[in-house]
Amino acid sequence: MINQDRILAEFLELVQVDSVSGHERALADLLASRLKELGLDVYEDGAGAVTGGEAGNLIATLPARGPERPLLLVAHMDTVEPGRGVRPVVENGVVRSAGDTILGGDDKAGIVTILEVLRVIKEDQLVHGGLEVVFTIGEESGLLGAKHLDHTRLRSSTGYVLDCDGPAGTIVMQAPAQDKIEAVVRGRAAHAGINPEDGVNAIAVAAHAVARMNLGRIDEETTANIGVISGGKATNIVPDFCRLEGETRSLTGHKCRAQTAAMVEVLETTAARFGARVEVTTQTLYHEFKLDESHPAIVVAQKAAENLGLVSRLVKTGGGSDANIFNARGITCVNLGIGMQKVHTTEEFIRIDDLVTNARYLLEIIRVANAGDR
């Protein structure tokens, strides 16, 4: 059975292992050792070499005990900054950081859920159809680990990613596509006090362009943002350079592409109007996915929630996850809520009860998926 003291102790241990994006080596080594102790075959792929990180993705397999129905379980190893030197605090049934870092429940709560379930399966000799566990790198920096994962090593057609807010029973059935936009506006330098009229202020051009863009909530499915602007060298120089970084997202792919194109058009026409030049690059970071309510992966998750008396909620999200990549590669993956709250902030926390419920829920999903009683 699920052991609360054990899962809490492991969670506290893991959040204190630094693993910000690109620096997952220590955690990868620890997790590889744990997985091997639990009887899984562990392989580390070469994604780290491609992405510039210290470690690759971990791919671990547990042979079936019963008829083969392989199921994929996914969580990511990396965390965002400030994520070094985490000091977890346990108080009144809640785990939070000391306040100067994130906690790292995103996604170490997902990792400990999978590890606890594997332990219970081993201890109780539970029947299952075979499990494939993937712990990815670089999720927070653009789903890099999942994108460069050696998918040929996987046999599962269905899986569950444990990487969403909301309590156990939260089932993400739709997630957006995302485009990245980078632009460099090139103006003309001049002395700001002697001959400013001879210059073309690249920052001003960028500001005019941003002011003309439709940003924020575009419609119920689509968002857009300019999040980074930098440029200039000194206050007495008309800046000849300004860099912008932004994004678009939509649950419908063509809307995402249309919003990206509209922002590019604004940048180009505004630059031409002021006699500047602009260099724009766009990149689709990941594609959208939408699962039908009748898909077995959804039905299994709902049945498991019902069996445990949990409230199941089918939701759409504005955030991407490794599930986007796996779905695009032909492995139907549902992203599950694991109770993490205020993630990516120094106020991040998770309830101990949620850690336990997550493990109970995942174990029941595995049981239902294997039994076929859906």
Q: What is the pLDDT along the chain (374 residues), one digit of tens a residue?
A: 899 999 999 999 999 999 999 999 999 999 999 999 999 999 999 999 999 999 999 999 999 999 999 999 999 999 999 999 999 999 999 999 999 999 999 999 999 999 999 999 999 999 999 999 999 999 999 999 999 998 999 999 999 999 999 999 999 999 999 999 999 999 999 999 999 999 999 999 999 999 999 999 999 999 999 999 999 999 999 999 999 999 999 999 999 999 999 999 999 999 999 999 999 999 999 999 999 999 999 999 999 999 999 999 999 999 999 999 999 999 999 999 999 999 999 999 999 999 999 999 999 999 999 986 54
Find how far residue 253's CA is from the centre of its chain: 19
Tell me if 147 sits within 8 A of 328, measured CB to CB. Answer: no
In angstroms and rounded to an integer, the radius of gyration of the C-alpha atoms of the chain is 23
Asked if 215 and 226 touch (Cβ cutoff 8 Å), the reply is: yes
Strands 158-165 and 332-340: parallel
| Matching residue, tokens 């863009």 | 213
pTM for the full model?
A: 0.93
Question: Rounded CA gap, 136 and 175, in Å?
Answer: 19
Q: Looking at 10, 24, 44, 78, which residue is catalytic?
A: 78
Of 142, 179, 314, give the one whose Cα is nearest residue 253.
179
Name the DSSP letter for residue 310: P
3-state secondary structure 205-224: HHHHHHHHCCCEEEECCEEE
Is 103 strand, coil or helix? coil
pLDDT of residue 371: 84
**What pLDDT, on a 0 to 100 scale, did the predictor assign at position 374?**
43
- pLDDT at position 191, please? 98
Q: Are 80 and 18 in contact (CB under 8 A)?
A: no
Helices within 124-226 (DSSP H only): 144-147, 202-212
Domain annotation for the chain: domains and CATH numbers = 4-175+288-371 (3.40.630.10), 177-286 (3.30.70.360)
Phi, psi angle pair for 80, to nearest 5° = -90, 170
Closest of 130, 114, 173 to residue 362, by C-alpha: 114
Is residue 321 a contact partner of residue 164, using CB atoms and an 8 Å limit? yes
pLDDT at 372: 63
**Strands in the chain per DSSP E:** 41-44, 58-62, 71-76, 88-91, 94-97, 131-136, 158-165, 170-175, 177-186, 190-191, 216-219, 222-231, 237-238, 241-250, 277-286, 289-290, 313-316, 332-340, 349-351
Kindly report the number of other CB atoms within 10 A of residue 66's CB atom.
Answer: 12
Catalytic hit among 10, 24, 44, 139: 139
Structure tokens at 321: 């996850």
Q: Is 139 a catalytic residue?
A: yes
CA–CA distances in Å: residue 11 to residues 7, 8, 40, 96, 151:
6, 5, 20, 11, 28
350 Cβ contact list (under 8 Å, min separation 6): 94, 95, 103, 105, 109, 338, 339, 340, 341
Burial class (CB in 10 A: 0-12, 13-18, 19+), 277: middle
Alpha-carbon separation of residue 69 from 58, 108, 157, 177, 353 (angstroms): 21, 26, 9, 30, 30
